Structure 1
Amino acid sequence: MRQIANTLSNEFSLTNKMSESIICLFEEGVSVPFIARYRKDMTGGMSDVNLRRFHDRWLYLVELYKRQHSILESLKSITPYPLEVADKIKRAETKTELEDLYAPFKKTRKTNADLARGLGLGSLAERLWAQSGDDERALVAIWLKSNHDVSMPLEDALKGAQEIIMEALSMNSDLLKKGRAVLLEKGELVSKVIRGKQEIGDKYKDYFDYQEPIKKVPPHRLLALFRGKKESMLKLGVRYSEVGLEKEAPSWLNIPTLNNLFSATVLSSSPLTKRQYDYLSLVWQSRLFLKLESDVLSELKERAEEGAIKVFSDNLKDLLMSAPAGGCRVLGVDPGFRNGVKLAVIDELAQVKASTVIYPFSPDKQAQAARNTLRSLLKTHQINWLAIGNGTASRETEAFCTDLIRSKKLDCKTVVVSEAGASVYSASEVAIAEFPDLDVTIRGAISIARRFQDPLAELVKIEPQAIGVGQYQHDVKPSQLVKSLSAVVEDCVNKVGVDVNLASASLLSYVSGLSARLAQNIVDYRAQKGRIESRHELLSIKGIGEKCFEQCAGFIRVLNGKEPLDASAVHPESYCVVRQMATRLGVKACELMRNSALLNQLKSEPDFATQVGSYTFTDILDELSKPGRDPRPEFRYAAFDHSVQSMNDLHEGMTLEGVVTNVAAFGAFVDIGVHQDGLVHISQLANRFVKDPREVVRVGDVIKVVVLGVDVPRKRISLKAQGI
């Protein structure tokens, strides 16, 4: 562990003691949210983002050193033992470098070079590589005369020796490492349309004859290119030319290490001979470039996937941390034409009070009945908000509801809510368990209403991939995507905290230290026993022991319970310190909460910081000043222009209000209420240079935009942000 800890200390600018402490916590199974919040004095205050980077890097290094050890063990069976290779393996910093070094020793089938070695041509290959002079055949002839054990035609001997040289060059780890680095830095990515695919591949026409320096290609463009390749529309390749000499070996191949191709002697820095350079040119054209091109394309795809996952993760975080409307009476409205508009009444505690289906877009009698039903629900349940899904018939339904509210002078408002993933939730096992007796369509209306009240609490019930804030999510590795998105949900849930008496099993399952089974145990305990009165009571629930309690307790909130501190983010392990603080000031612990005067006095008491650590002490004071505060922003909603119902109603120069639904590397998509999101290109986001769109906008933000252009046939809307 010490070697890994030293590496991580250097990479993350930590002391060795901190790195070792963090590794020990991870080995014990402690979660990132817990370490980030309650072990800051052990980590130097590392954020959850950096801790996850640390964790991923730690796992990589563990696997690297395991593989290193495995390879070194396998090399022990080789005679003579390749000491120089073993030393390089011990110093290898990446898995790719390791496999390059090991590749010559793990062949699964005999190559032409192996056959040549078996015929005794190994020493001839060494001589051809090491000796200068242009007459190869003369060298081979002299060698054949002095090696009576080898009897074969001169041409066969020469060809066999050349095969050995070519293979040694094409598998040389130094050459491969240098080659990848050079191509990534100086190469160009090129794409061509596959013959005969011009018409059916029209959406890729920007890439039919495309080239761009590799180091400048953004992740979203890489993914578009790789999707075109996957769909057999594009042919991708890498191009590298140096001073126009594409057929010869680039000058960077002439590296000193190649003098050591067959020998373990001390390296010289002399340039390669003409013959050696000729061999390099030949291997460059026939083997090496093809291998490097494949490796570079694989690395670019991996880089693109990482970029896509990051975009998805960032958007998901913004969506989950978007402002909740809070405890209010909501009518969830799932619009539809033929199948009707589904309605679900949700009270302040997110409980379903009524549900029905109305048909406002049917013949007159049903339309009038729909108005009467809607009016009755709004008045009977004293509805504050109508949360309307943004799918099919959304604007028509909003107009119908708004007209009724205005004509009857009702005290409620309409708001359009993203319904992405609501249908997935409706048919899920979670929804069936929650509402076994309700129709699947009504469950969708419930989800829309609840996500308006509290996006985080409701959206955790839906697979993150179905929420609709990603980009090219179907082109990335599912396992990596799920891992990353689950980490985002976990961080968001624990940052906000969970009311243990209201939370669903889905929400509780993301709390630090709790599994899906333990979350369900809490819900079952609550159903049998009733309200949970304290954090300590969690220890009475099946499966929750001291270790689990330590990790989850700080993120659990018990409102109006026996212990006032249970409603805060102060961890139970620090309660005794809070009571000591209160005793020092001659008050009760609960009197410290929201009392800035008393808390300011405690700042001048250094012994408490020494006792619990400076980070923990600061966090305790901050939490006592605003116990249980919600880190999410205040609630805002977009007021769509009622005169704009479809793309045909848009015109250039129109100013509208909308909601940011997705943020990509090239800009932000905004819902302006016409069933088709508009794009604010990164160049139109602000009156200044913007490197990353998330610097100025996030998913869920309400912004004003100006319409720049409308392409109805292609369903494209160009927008410009205003006032940013």
Structure 2
Amino acid sequence: MIISTIARELGVPEAHVRATVALLDEGNTVPFIARYRKEATGGLDDTQLRQLEERLGYLRELEDRKATILAAIEEQGKLTDDLRALIAACESKARLEDLYLPFKKRRKTKADTAREAGLEPLVDTLTTEQDTDAEKAAAGYICEGFEDTKKVLDGARAILIDQFATDADLVGEVREEMYRRGRMSATVVEGREQEGAKFKDYFEFSEPFTRLPSHRILALLRGEKEGVLHLDLDAGDDEFYQGLIADRFDLDVTASTWLADAVRWGWRTKLYVSSGLDVRMRLKEHAEAGALDVFATNLRDVLLAAPAGQRATLGLDPGYRNGVKTAVVDPTGKVLATTIIHPHQPQNRWDSAVRELADLCATHGVELIAVGNGTASRETEKLSHQVADLLAKAGGRKPTTVVVSESGASVYSASSLAAAEFPDMDVSLRGAVSIARRLQDPLAELVKIDPKSIGVGQYQHDVNQTQLARTLDGVVEDAVNAVGVDLNTASAPLLTRVAGISSTLADNIVGWRDEHGRFPSRRTLKDVPRLGPKAFQQCAGFLRITGGEDPLDASAVHPEAYPVVRRIAKATGLGVADLIGNSRVLGSLNPADFTDDKFGLPTVTDIIAELDKPGRDPRPEFTTATFKEGVEKISDLTPGMILEGTVTNVAAFGAFVDVGVHQDGLVHVSAMSTKFVEDPHTVVRSGQVVKVKVMEVDVDRKRIGLSLRLDDEPGAPAPKPQRGSAGGGNRNSGNRGGRKGRGGGQGARGNAGGRPAPGGSLADALKKAGFGN
């Protein structure tokens, strides 16, 4: 059942799902399966495999829970064939728990006490003979604990309400209808208006559950958690739900005021409460899933950002009072020199700083200067340009200055990993080393930092931390293995992210390298302590050796497939080394001619493509943004300016862009294209260099509104995006997002994912979503 369910959900043949599950159960990693077992999986990529793996875990947990519940009900002697069939057919944990409700052990309730007193026959009478006089019927059931007819009828009502609350079909239907029909409403907690100003757009707010986007749900929940907002789950028309209850139990509430009262009480005291809790959980799960998707996409983009390459680099970690921390690294990332200069206030040793940096650059042949984008960044960038000009005038090499995100650099500096790597280096200087290295190779450096500290998340502290860690670890693993790792230069943290390599094995690889020198071939990995056949199978294809004994070791061809390459080389009459990169010969080959029982068409096709461009890097070419001269702080901005900047983060409602003023501007999703944009990630990605127009500037609140549509005019009504190809239509976007909520006006609130209402502020979308506050 699990196999068929996953196959149906993913839209792939059951045979491929079954084979993939078997591979996972054998201990194979997702990157290995995705790249080297395409015949078995039908070519599922790493994203699909992650989805399959997650769904497999859920469904297996569901099956385990079914077994537990079946055993518990059977122990009570209440398991029927029909109930067993219903439980077996469950595809969700919510439905399963609904079925288990009547049999679940619980504290003694009023209904249990009433049943023990023998009031159940009275309930049967009142629900089957509905024109019965309730008072007269109750008189015959007076007993200890139920000394008058009112108490008897209250007991009978408790029994009937308990029946409502434990009817699986009714509970499930009410829950679904509440989610489909209900709304989330928010009001400000009295007296918290000023403290909770960042949630101002939610002080009077209402929106249907089905239209609440991820970021808005998390903002509302955060506002509630901080004691600023009061949230109310409005289910809709009470009479509708009461009608569902009456219809389910075939009750004529017009024939009996007692039945009408019981149905009303059952809805308000039981089903509304339980359904409300379920809806909250469902909304939170939906919001967390959305936040995780945003975080994963942004993290993938940052990790796979273009590397500047192996060039000597000067890293500058800017600062005022404590100076600019400086580190020079060679093309391999080895630290050559460190120092601290004080060009800015209060010391103002500008000229000496220029001379010192110029001397460092000349001495070590620096080609790149990486400037962290924190405090004093623009001033330090100006300093680096003066250093470059001085070197050029002296006839030396003029280094290129690049502003680099320093998110997480301080976290790395204080980490045990940095302490082990630079035990004798001052903590403040380690950040400069990290900044320099992340320009050379972002992936190799950022794997040393907890992904949550890289600064590309959305409400990352509000989501399930276990799920967050699992998701981000998968992203890092997939990114590292997509690029590949140089076995002879990779650090232990980078090696740990390679498929099949644990932290212990990573340390052992580095230890072997320190003791024996370079790895001459991939097969030498087998000499590493505790690196057995399974680990070798998983990791070997992702580890590269340049200039080794076998030219194939520099490629992504797995050692198990080397015999295929030998056959291809023999058929062409060339040696393996002559075959590699020979596009003319490789382009003339028919992959089907080299398949066998072990290696099918997908694998052979991949092998030929890899031979054509061995070890190709999937990352884009290196480019940098050029910040406008004279624009160094937010007060330097004026509406209408066209600037170049770098996308630092992409959220569900837009993208944040660094234009060089220490405060990222927001390009709202509605200002990204003339077409309707459903997902901002279809237009921009983290790390991308873009041109933007400044639409509005609020210096006091540090808000910058930007547009990717360079023909937009500040202050003019924003053109309505047309439904079209840019990301597709979005039912949760556009003017629908700005529809008036209960008790609220039509301002910028509610427009995340759509076009701002007239007069609405693009920059206020940041506050509206509670993002970054």
AA of the residue aligned to 1:498: V
In structure 2, relative to structure 1, the CA distance for the partners of 1:573 and 1:122 (3 Å cut) is: same
Aligned to 2:102: 104
Aligned to 2:163: 168
* Contact 2:185-2:233 at 8 Å conserved across structures: yes
SS where residue 595 of structure 2 aligns? Answer: helix
Confirm or deny that 1:380 pairs with 2:363.
Answer: yes
Aligned to 1:66: 64
User: Is the CA contact 2:218–2:462 (under 8 Å) kept in the aligned structure 1?
Assistant: yes
Q: Is 1:241–1:250's contact at 8 Å kept on the other side of the alignment?
A: no
Say how many residue pairs are matched: 705
Tell me the residue number matched to 1:530. Answer: 517
Q: In structure 2, which of residues 589, 593, 599 is the aligned counterpart of residue 602 of structure 1?
A: 589
CA distance in structure 1 between the partners assigned to 2:349 and 2:241 by the alignment: 79
Alignment of 1:497 onto 2:484: yes
Could you tell me which residue of structure 2 aligns to residue 158 of structure 1?
153
Q: Are 1:479 and 2:477 matched, yes or no?
A: no
In structure 2, give the amino acid aligned to 1:480: Q
SS in 2 for 1:612: coil
Distance 1:255 1:84 in 2: 22
- 1:14-29 counterparts in 2 under 5 A? 14-29=12-27
> What is aligned with 1:370?
353
- 2:118 and 2:216 map into 1 onto residues whose CA distance is 51
Deviations 1:74-127 (A, max 9, x none): 112214445544432222221122222223322331001001111122232233
**In structure 1, how many angstroms separate the alpha carbons of the residues matched to 2:409 and 2:145?**
76
> Contact 1:636/1:702 (CA < 8 Å) preserved in 2?
yes
What do residues 288-323 of structure 1 show as CA deviations (whole Å, max 9, x unaligned)? 112211211121112111111111111000000010
Confirm whether residue 198 of structure 1 aligns to residue 200 of structure 2.
no
Looking at structure 1, the residues matched to 650 and 502 of structure 2 have their Cα atoms a distance apart, in angstroms, of: 31
State the AA in 1 paired with 2:496. Answer: S
Matches within 5 A, 1:238-637: 238-242=233-237, 246=238, 249-256=241-248, 258=249, 275=256, 279-361=262-344, 366-409=349-392, 411-603=398-590, 605-608=592-595, 612-637=599-624
Contact residue 320 and residue 346 of structure 2 kept, 8 A: no
Alignment-mate amino acid for residue 452 of structure 2: Q
State the SS of the aligned residue for 1:76. Answer: helix
Residue by residue over 1:147-200, the C-alpha shift from the partner in whole angstroms, topping out at 9 and shown as x without a partner, is x99996443332222111011102222122112211221211111111222222
Q: Is the 8 A contact 2:183 2:236 kept in 1?
A: no
* Alpha-carbon spacing, 1:408–1:519, altered in 2? closer, same or farther (3 Å): closer
Conservation of the 8 A alpha-carbon contact between 1:8 and 1:54:
yes
Structure 2 CA distance for partners of 1:80 and 1:536, relative to 1, 3 Å: closer
Which whole-Å CA distance do the structure 1 matches of 2:316 and 2:624 have between them? 16
For residues 183-232 of structure 1, the C-alpha deviation after alignment (integer angstroms, 9 at most, x for no partner) is: 22121111111122222221111111110111111100111000000011
- State the alpha-carbon separation in 1 of the partners of residues 245 and 671 from structure 2: 44
Task: Map Cα deviations across residues 673-721 of structure 1 (whole Å, 9 max, x no partner).
Answer: 0000000000111222111111110000000111001101101000011
TM-score computed with the length of structure 1 as normaliser: 0.94
SS in 1 for 2:316: strand
Shift of 1:595: 1.4
* Residue pairs, 1:26-45, within 5 angstroms: 26-45=24-43
- Kept in 1: contact 2:591–2:601 (CA 8 A): no
**What displacement does 1:601 show?**
3.1
Deviation, 1:35, is 0.7
**Is the alpha carbon distance of 1:505 and 1:39 closer, same or farther for their aligned partners in structure 2, counting shifts above 3 Å?**
same
Q: Separation in 1 of the partners of 2:545 and 2:22?
A: 31
Residues 394-419 of structure 1, C-alpha deviations (whole Å, 9 max, x = no match): 11111122123224425112111000
Amino acid corresponding to residue 43 of structure 1 in structure 2 = T
TM superposition shift of 1:591: 2.3
Q: Determine if contact 2:321/2:346 at 8 Å carries over to the other structure.
A: no
Root mean square deviation, CA, Å: 2.1
Quote how far apart the aligned CAs of 1:722 are: 4.3
From 670, 679, 691, the equivalent of 2:666 is 679
Give aligned-pair identity as a percent. 46
Runs of 5+ unmatched residues, structure 1: 260-269
- Residue identity in the other structure for 2:162: E
Letter in structure 2 aligned against 1:639:
T
Distance (Å, rounded) in 2 between the aligned partners of 1:450 and 1:706: 32
Q: 1:72 to 1:696 in 2, by over 3 A?
A: same
Q: Which residue of 2 aligns with 1:212?
A: 207
What displacement does 1:590 show?
2.5
Deviation of the 1:589 alpha carbon: 2.2
Q: Distance in 2 between matches of 1:182 and 1:531?
A: 65
Q: Distance in 1 between matches of 2:149 and 2:356?
A: 98
1:19 CA drift (Å): 1.9
Match of 1:227 in 2: 222
- The 1:424/1:177 distance shift into structure 2, 3 A limit, reads same
1:249–1:280: 8 Å Cα contact kept in structure 2?
no
TM-score (norm 2): 0.88
Q: Secondary structure at the match of 1:703?
A: strand
Q: Distance in 2 between matches of 1:620 and 1:687?
A: 42
Describe the shift of the 1:673–1:140 C-alpha distance in structure 2 as closer, same or farther (beyond 3 A).
same
Higher RCO (CA < 8 A, seq sep 6+):
2
| Cα displacement (A) at 1:281 | 2.5
CA pair 122-328 structure 1, distance change in 2 beyond 3 A: same
Change in 2 beyond 3 A, CA 1:113/1:271: closer
2:653 to 636, 641, 666: 666
2:748 alignment partner in structure 1: none
Which one-letter code corresponds to 1:182 in the other structure? E
Q: Secondary structure at the match of 2:186?
A: strand
Task: Quickly say closer, same or farther: Cα 1:168–1:622, change in 2 above 3 A.
Answer: same
Residue 342 and residue 149 in structure 1: after superposition, are their counterparts in 2 closer, same or farther (change >3 A)?
closer
Deviations 1:21-79 (A, max 9, x none): 11111112211111111111111101111111100110001110101001111112214
Please tell me whether the aligned partners of residues 498 and 556 of structure 1 are also in contact (alpha carbons under 8 angstroms). yes
1:123 to 106, 121, 124: 121
1:499–1:591 distance in 2 versus 1, CA, 3 Å = same
Tell me, in whole angstroms, the C-alpha distance in 2 between the residues paired with 1:112 and 1:81: 25
8 A Cα contact 1:249 1:281, kept in partner: no
Shift of 1:235: 1.1
CA distance in 2, matches of 1:711, 1:672: 15
Which stretch shifts more, 508-517 or 284-293? 284-293
Q: Does the CA-based 8 Å contact 1:132-1:273 persist in structure 2?
A: no
Q: Is the 8 A contact 1:342 1:445 kept in 2?
A: yes
Match of 2:639, SS? coil
Contact 2:114 2:156 in 1 (8 A): yes
**SS of residue matched to 2:370:** strand
Give the Cα–Cα distance (whole angstroms) in 1 for the partners of residues 36 and 349 of structure 2: 59
